[in-house]
Amino acid sequence: MLRLADIGLQAPARLLGEFGLVLAPVPDGEPIPGSYWGECEAGLIGCTVYARADTPVHSLLHEACHLIVMPPERRARVHTDATDSVPEEDAACCLQILLADRLPGVGRDRLMADMDAWGYSFRLGSARAWFENDAEDARAFLASRGLKMVSDPI
């Protein structure tokens, strides 16, 4: 599984910054603030995404994407649990796959493999099958939020 230590902080911090988010590094061994899953999984509080060197890249992107797709008034109040609905969850999953292509050394293929290895559950059995064959609603949700990268080819 690809970890933040494998790709460094600079590119993810820059990417999150494009969406008005802050990446806050957490020292090794310290608990991650706002982590829903605990251990090494990314956390979120307001517009800040917290992660350690051992945080999986897919976790960092997923939590950031929850913040990106939610309305700004909710974003300011969010703490730990960002899920609002199944459509929003699907949109976060779709967006994290799309944004993975913008991180050097990551890309959608690697991210989807890591999502499957972690245990994301999709109706069609894998992140790739879902993304390529059943993510129309998620893409429509992203488009409704003005996120232009949804037109990227599969």
pLDDT of 154 over the 60 cut = no
41 and 59 Cβ atoms separated by less than 8 Å: yes
pLDDT tens, residue by residue, 122-132: 778 899 999 99
8-state DSSP, 5 = H
How far is the C-alpha of 114 from the C-alpha of 56, rounded, in Å? 8
pLDDT of 151 over the 60 cut = no
How far is the C-alpha of 107 from the C-alpha of 143, rounded, in Å? 21
What is the per-residue pLDDT for 150? Answer: 47
Length of the chain: 154
Amino acid found at 133: N
Q: What is the mean pLDDT of residues 16-31?
A: 96
Q: What is the mean pLDDT of residues 93-117?
A: 96
pLDDT tens, residue by residue, 50-84: 999 999 999 999 999 999 999 888 998 999 988 77
Tokens at 119, concatenated: 């245990």
Tokens at 136, concatenated: 């129309």
Map residue 71 onto helix, strand or coil.
coil
Buried b (16+ CB within 10 A) or exposed e, 38-62: eebbbbbbebbbbbbebbbbbbbbb
Residues in CB range of 150: below 8 A, 6 or more apart = 94, 98, 139, 142, 143
